[in-house]
Amino acid sequence: MELAVVWSVLVAQTMLALAMAFALYRMARGPRAQDRILGLDTLYINAMLMLITFGIRTANTVYFETALIIAVIGFASSIALAKFLMRGEVIE
């Protein structure tokens, strides 16, 4: 693999990890519950991107499903949390 790709993937992954760390800060500190939930959602999105970069790094497609699942149904937990905040229960 070209050196440029190796380096750019490494940089991308570090940046993504940093982004996840910032998301964690919101999840842990809040201050409002909404901030925490959005933090988790951001964490999921970054995780999805992280998985794709990992696929690029290993030049392998088997890691794609995991990213796909986050993309398609990863929002379910965010929705559930949001609904819980808004209505006090998830399924009415």
Tell me how far, at minimum, the Cβ of 3 lies from other proteins, in Å: 17
Tell me how far, at minimum, the Cβ of 2 lies from other proteins, in Å: 19
Asked whether the beta carbons of 37 and 23 are under 8 A apart, the reply is no
The residue ranges that bind other proteins (CB under 8 A) are: 10, 13-14, 16-18, 20-21, 23-24, 27-28, 30, 33, 36-37, 39-40, 43-44, 47, 50-51, 54, 62-63, 65-66, 68-70, 72-74, 76-77, 79-92
